[in-house]
């Protein structure tokens, strides 16, 4: 969990020492690396641990991704199916989660294959901030459930936390589980899990754009990890509405390369699959090419903020560099953080995300001291 205190804690009286003779805890002011003066030396068994693959400079990594010749036609077919599917949005107020500043609604809408998709819609109350509002879609990480974007609404956005198919509340008709989603039908692009999943995220923009209180051409997208990937795919699939996107630690970018660079989940799902079924690698490679954010990137025109950790074991930074190189038709801001992993430097980067979205979406934020809940993948 990441904790973002919005107010200082009340002072705590000095706790009584239960054993006054006990020495105070040792505090390591410098993070320990083994061996460390902070760490008690103990004999360790000699073992040979498998280590990360030999790495070069991430900005010099050569991507192996190729764009299928019918990539655009593939997604045009998806769009045609969506166009023939009524959105049928439903908004149910959720008083328990609402506050004096923000109204919360549970949302459902229809996406590809008739799957009902859930989400949380949070908007400022009129008495708190008068509309209209810029829209902001918050797209979720792989295993996390979409949080309620109340903190963004408090900052003046009509904010929508999307739960694409397979997430809780959107898994009645489709539930591949975790692990599972990444490799569900990964040998067939027409039925691969992310075909519907990407469509669900894009449709969230349609839901926002239909709302009278939302400025339809000032909608942003933001997320990290899988949320970073959905930021990119949605910016590509909804160019008319998406005014900017902030993508942290982008996942689903250079799938096959990434899997070879890591043993961390979710990409490890692909490695596990190929350990059992190595003969399916070509079919896997052919499928994921239709869903690779490197192939969506050139069609993105809205300004994008991308950030990554240089030591991300989950979404290798090499693929983030490849992504930035592939974003050839939009303004790109790229931030990297040494020694950060899948956190992608969010301890520092959240302020940059807030500033980037505010610059492009121009919310009426009543209090400059307001902060968004830290985005995690």
* Among the listed residues 110, 67, 109, 114, the one whose alpha carbon sits nearest the alpha carbon of residue 92: 109
Per CB under 8 A, the segment of 75-83, 236-244, 252-260, 333-341 that binds other proteins is 333-341
Long-range contacts of 21-24 (CB under 8 A, 24+ apart): none
Q: Does 369 bind other proteins (CB under 8 A)?
A: no
Closest to other proteins by CB, 144 or 365: 144
Per CB under 8 A, the segment of 71-79, 184-192, 261-269, 350-358 that binds other proteins is 261-269
| CA–CA dist 22, 8 (Å, integer) | 30
* Backbone dihedral angles phi then psi of residue 366, each to the nearest 5 degrees: -75, -20
Per-residue contact string for residues 284-323; x = within reach of other proteins by CB under 8 A: -------------------------x-xxx----------
Closest to other proteins by CB, 300 or 312: 312
Residue appearing with tokens 């792989």: 142
Q: Does 86 bind other proteins (CB under 8 A)?
A: no
Parallel/antiparallel/unpaired status of strands 102-110 and 158-163: unpaired
* Structure tokens belonging to residue 65: 């991704």
Closest separation in Å from C-beta 315 to other proteins? 12
Residues from 36 through 65 that contact other proteins (CB under 8 A): 36, 38-45, 47-58
Q: Does 17 bind other proteins (CB under 8 A)?
A: yes
* Structure tokens belonging to residue 377: 């993948």
Closest to other proteins by CB, 289 or 357: 357
Residues from 218 through 237 that contact other proteins (CB under 8 A): none
Parallel/antiparallel/unpaired status of strands 158-163 and 90-93: unpaired
Per-residue contact string for residues 136-165; x = within reach of other proteins by CB under 8 A: -------xxx-xx-xx--x-----------
In this structure, are residues 237 and 198 in contact, taking their beta carbons and an 8 Å threshold? yes
Q: Does 339 bind other proteins (CB under 8 A)?
A: yes
- What is the Cα 342 distance to its own chain's centre? 11
């Amino acid at each position: 969990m990441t904790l973002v205190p919005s107010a200082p804690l009340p002072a705590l009286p000095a706790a009584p020492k239960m054993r006054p003779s006990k020495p105070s805890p040792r505090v390591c002011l410098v993070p320990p690396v083994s061996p460390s003066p902070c760490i008690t030396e103990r004999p360790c068994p000699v073992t040979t641990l498998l280590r990360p693959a030999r790495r070069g400079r991430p900005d010099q990594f050569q991507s192996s991704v190729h764009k299928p010749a019918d990539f655009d036609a593939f997604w045009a077919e998806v769009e045609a199916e969506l166009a023939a599917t009524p959105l049928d949005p439903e908004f149910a107020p959720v008083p328990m989660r609402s506050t004096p500043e923000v109204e919360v609604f549970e949302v459902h809408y229809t996406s590809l294959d008739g799957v009902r998709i859930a989400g949380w819609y949070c908007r400022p109350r009129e008495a708190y901030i008068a509309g209209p509002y810029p829209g902001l879609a918050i797209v979720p990480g792989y295993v996390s459930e979409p949080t309620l974007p109340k903190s963004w609404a408090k900052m003046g956005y009509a904010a929508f936390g999307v739960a694409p198919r397979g997430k809780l509340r959107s898994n009645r008709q489709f539930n591949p589980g975790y692990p599972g989603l990444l490799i569900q039908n990964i040998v067939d692009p027409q039925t691969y899990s992310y075909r519907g999943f990407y469509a669900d995220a894009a449709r969230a923009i349609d839901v926002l754009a239909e709302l009278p209180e939302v400025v339809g051409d000032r909608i942003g997208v933001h997320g990290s990890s899988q949320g970073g990937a959905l930021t990119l795919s949605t910016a590509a699939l909804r160019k008319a509405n998406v005014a900017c996107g902030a993508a942290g630690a982008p996942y689903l970018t250079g799938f096959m390369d990434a899997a070879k660079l890591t043993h961390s989940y979710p990409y490890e799902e692909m490695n596990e699959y190929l350990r059992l079924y190595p003969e399916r690698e070509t079919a896997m490679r052919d499928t994921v090419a239709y869903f690779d954010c490197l192939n969506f990137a050139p069609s993105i025109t809205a300004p994008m903020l991308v950030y990554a950790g240089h030591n991300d074991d989950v979404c290798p930074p090499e693929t983030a560099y490849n992504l930035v190189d592939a974003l050839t038709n939009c303004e790109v801001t790229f931030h990297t953080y040494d020694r950060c992993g899948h956190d992608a430097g969010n301890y520092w980067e959240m302020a940059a995300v807030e500033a980037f979205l505010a610059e492009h979406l121009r919310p009426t934020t009543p209090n400059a001291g307001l902060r968004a809940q830290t985005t995690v993948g």
